[in-house]
Amino acid sequence: MSIKTDVAKTIIGEVIHDSYGRVYGRILGFTVDSPKSVPLIWVEQKTGEVSSCPSSKITLDNDMMIVNTSWTVKSTRLSEDLRVILQKLSALHKLYNTDEIVKEAYDKIRNHYETTIHSLTQRRQILTQNAAERLEELTATAGHLEFLLAKSKLACSLGYVDEDACSLVADALRDSLKRALTEKNDAEATIDALAEVSMPPETSAPPRVKSEDASGQPILLHIKEAGL
């Protein structure tokens, strides 16, 4: 969403959550370009690290501030960016093949597009690696939460903890497990989706130049006069 300065100042100190419902951090302040432009929000994460978050990635859902950390959104955006640039490159080739643009202009625009494609290729590699690393963390987290849930149920079964306390602990653990599994599924889907993205070569071959049909060319015969 677009955040104005009069709104941004009211959310300082507010807790902000990630796409999976977990506490992401606390809003510390913001960057101002003009009275009506707040491009960045400063967030103190749970680790204590302070990061800048684009205001366009923040939404308000049922009075909850949410920063978009969805793996699905990231992979979808990358796929769409690639689809658009490939469409532009295809249109450029067609214009050049039909002699509607000169080679100098074609080369300049093509180089720009190929630079973008190279950047998207790097983005895909980084996103795939990040998703794989996060998937490993979430797999371990889900296993640990399942273990804690089993320990809690055992303590309740043995009478070490009353049923009300056991219920509160179990509900909290199930909520955390649900969030971890939701993100885990998104990370897995992201890895699969990125693997299916067809990336073109970083350097496109020049379009094939139309050649004249050899059969339509006149045949020149050089006949040496024989001496009499």
pLDDT tens sequence across 178-202: 999 999 999 999 999 998 877 665 5
- Residue 213: pLDDT band (50, 70, 90) is very low
Residues 38 and 54: beta-carbon distance below 8 Å:
no
Q: Residue 211 pLDDT more than 60?
A: no
Q: Residue 120 pLDDT more than 50?
A: yes
Q: What is the largest CA-CA distance in the chain?
A: 127
CB atoms within 10 A of CB 180: 22
Residues 40 and 53: beta-carbon distance below 8 Å:
yes
Write out the DSSP string of 32-96: -SBTTB--EEEEEETTS-EEEEEGGGEEEETTEEEE---HHHHHHHHHHHHHHHHHHHHHHHHHH
Strands 23-31 vs 50-54: parallel, antiparallel or unpaired: unpaired
Structure tokens at 67: 């920063």
Report pLDDT for 218: 46
Residues 50 and 31: beta-carbon distance below 8 Å:
no
Residue 36 burial class via C-beta count within 10 angstroms: exposed 0-12, middle 13-18, buried 19 and up:
exposed
pLDDT digits (tens, 9 = 90+) for 22-48: 999 999 998 887 767 788 889 998 888
Average pLDDT over residues 151-165: 92
- Name the residue with tokens 């039909």: 98
